[in-house]
């Protein structure tokens, strides 16, 4: 398998090299470039960090020369970004958010995620640290992506933008929204009033948007009270923050048309109402990767660069309403490539369906070939010459 992996790496390196040679102008340059730390993952598997560039031209020259698997830029700003972390001289950091469909507990993941053996190239649904077919320990979990996954992640991104605007005062126009290039969305706010916020403050922000700790009590529903006492304490939809947001969601549910109805149900079935509120908070709260937001020294994948696990672009959207990442973020053309595919579930790119495949040699357009090779499920056939 070592030779086959080498062929796959060589194929990807050549493809990425072509992309950056022709599209380096598509890579987004961060503000205050001279205060940022840069890093990249090369095709030897080495993560190179603590790089600094005085200007856009020098950065792009390195991107074309190195054509990395992944390219990153710090969310933090430093006096000396090329020095070791303890000597950089931290100043401030952008707000950054990562929404990954794999963290959303979606039912579709059980249908399409699988374990894959790097030794024999066979998939399995069985959990374990060894391949059930060849006994190898070279097992990895492949988190596939479908339209349902990305649709759910997009809804989370939309909710996040709404929270930032309504509850934190960051205008939607100042929040940059991207398809991550693989299974979700990245969002960042540059130059907001929260750029000096420390890690604890960012953690509290994440917890607030998730509704952590919000209970029936915060809705004014207290035990051993009369309906006359409770009703005035229950919020109205116009109230700002979580109380107004939650009562709006509750009033849209069957059986609850008003504050009075909610109070009456609580009087009769308090446990059921408390459970319903917990489920509603979980549904309308925002689920982000807290580690990304909290880490003010994080290096974040750069807009316009390729994702190493898909070959798709980290694509920026001015509006998420019509975003279709599996069409919009395709980076390569349609020239035919012959591939030896070990395994692949069905996947969609540019509106076309491919797969399923298992232990077969097929011809695919370049964009689909890069996708499968980046996933580690295929390698170019010798028939390509």
Find residue 323's DSSP bridge partners: none
**CA of 126: how far to CAs of 145, 151, 153, 245, 372, in Å?**
19, 27, 27, 42, 22
Region 109-124: mean pLDDT is 90
| Alpha carbon distance 260, 361 (integer Å) | 65
CATH level 2 (architecture), domain 2-103+145-207+289-384: Alpha-Beta Complex (3.90)
Active-site residue, selected from the candidate residues 94, 102, 278, 289: 289
pLDDT at 2: 64
Checking if the pLDDT of 4 tops 80, the result is no
Find residue 41's DSSP bridge partners: 47, 70
Residue pair 316/329 in contact by the 8 Å Cβ criterion: no
Q: Where is 20: in which H helix or E strand? A: helix 2-23
Supply the pTM of this predicted model: 0.94
Chain region(s) in the chain for CATH 3.90.920.10: 2-103+145-207+289-384
pLDDT at 314: 98
- Would you tell me how many other CB atoms lie within 10 Å of the CB of residue 360? 12
Mean per-residue pLDDT of the chain: 94
Q: Where is 59: in which H helix or E strand? A: helix 56-66
Residues of the chain with pLDDT > 70, as a percent, come to 98
Residue pair 377/344 in contact by the 8 Å Cβ criterion: yes
- Three-point CA angle 359, 364, 368, nearest 5°: 95
Region 118-127: mean pLDDT is 86
Is 289 labeled as catalytic in the residue annotation? yes
Query: For residue 54, with 0-12 CB atoms within 10 Å meaning exposed, 13-18 middle and 19 or more buried, which class applies?
Result: exposed
Checking if the pLDDT of 384 tops 60, the result is no
Region 182-205: mean pLDDT is 97
Is 278 labeled as catalytic in the residue annotation? no
pLDDT at 383: 56
Region 267-283: mean pLDDT is 95
pLDDT at 129: 85
Residue pair 339/362 in contact by the 8 Å Cβ criterion: yes
| Alpha carbon distance 314, 292 (integer Å) | 16
Is 100 labeled as catalytic in the residue annotation? yes
pLDDT tens by residue, 314-338: 999 999 988 999 999 999 999 999 9
297 — pLDDT class (breaks 50, 70, 90): very high
| Alpha carbon distance 331, 308 (integer Å) | 12
Q: Which of 123-127, 162-166, 206-210, 367-371 has the lowest mean pLDDT?
A: 123-127
pLDDT at 343: 95
pLDDT tens by residue, 214-239: 999 999 999 989 999 999 999 999 99
128 — pLDDT class (breaks 50, 70, 90): confident
pLDDT tens by residue, 237-253: 999 999 999 999 999 98
Active-site residue, selected from the candidate residues 94, 98, 102, 308: 98
For the chain, the distance separating the N- and C-terminal CA atoms, rounded to the nearest angstrom, is 19
Per 3-state DSSP, what percentage of the chain is helix, strand, and coil (rounded to 5)? 40, 20, 40
Residue pair 175/189 in contact by the 8 Å Cβ criterion: yes
- Would you tell me how many other CB atoms lie within 10 Å of the CB of residue 14? 13
pLDDT tens by residue, 140-187: 999 999 999 999 999 999 999 999 999 999 999 999 999 999 999 999
DSSP string, 273-332: HHHHHHHHHHHHS----HHHHH-TT-EEEPTTPBPTTT--B-EEES-STT--HHHHT--S
What tokens appear for 142 in the block? 């492949």
pLDDT at 310: 98
| Alpha carbon distance 112, 99 (integer Å) | 19
What tokens appear for 94 in the block? 């952008």
Listed in sequence order, the DSSP H helices in 80-146 are 108-112
């Amino acid at each position: 398998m070592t030779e086959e992996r080498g062929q796959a790496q060589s194929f990807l390196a050549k493809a990425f090299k072509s992309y950056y040679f022709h599209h380096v102008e598509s890579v987004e340059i961060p503000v205050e470039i001279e205060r940022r730390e840069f890093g990249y993952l090369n095709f030897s598997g080495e993560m190179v960090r603590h790089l600094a560039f005085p200007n856009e031209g020098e950065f792009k020259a390195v991107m074309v020369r190195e054509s990395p698997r992944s390219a990153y830029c710090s969310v933090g700003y430093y006096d000396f970004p090329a020095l070791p972390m303890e000597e950089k001289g931290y100043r401030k950091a952008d707000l950054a958010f990562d929404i990954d469909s794999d963290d959303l507990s979606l039912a579709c993941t059980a249908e399409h995620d699988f374990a894959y053996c790097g030794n024999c190239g066979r998939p399995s649904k069985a959990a374990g640290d060894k391949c059930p077919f060849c006994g190898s320990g070279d097992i990895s979990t492949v988190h596939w992506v479908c339209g349902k996954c990305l649709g759910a992640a997009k809804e989370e991104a939309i909710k996040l933008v709404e929270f930032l605007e309504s509850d934190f005062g960051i205008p939607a126009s100042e929040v940059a929204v991207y398809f991550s290039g693989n299974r979700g969305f990245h969002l960042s706010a540059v130059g907001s009033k929260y750029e000096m916020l420390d890690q604890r403050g960012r953690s509290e922000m994440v917890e607030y948007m998730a509704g952590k700790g919000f209970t029936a009590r915060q809705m004014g529903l207290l035990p051993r009270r009369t309906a006359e006492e409770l009703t005035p304490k229950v919020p109205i939809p116009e109230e700002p923050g979580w109380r107004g947001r939650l009562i709006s969601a509750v009033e849209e549910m069957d059986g609850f048309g008003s504050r009075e109805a909610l109070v009456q149900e609580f009087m009769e079935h308090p446990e059921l109402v408390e459970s319903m509120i917990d489920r509603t908070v979980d549904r309308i709260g925002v689920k982000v990767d807290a580690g990304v937001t909290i880490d003010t020294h994080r290096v974040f994948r750069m807009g316009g660069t390729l994702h190493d696990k898909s070959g798709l672009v980290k694509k920026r959207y001015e509006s998420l309403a019509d975003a279709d990442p599996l069409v919009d973020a395709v980076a390569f053309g349609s020239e035919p490539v012959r591939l030896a595919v070990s395994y692949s579930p069905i996947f969609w790119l540019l509106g076309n369906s491919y797969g399923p495949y298992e232990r077969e040699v097929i011809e695919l357009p370049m964009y689909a070939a890069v996708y499968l090779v980046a996933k580690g499920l295929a390698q170019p056939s010798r028939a390509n010459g």
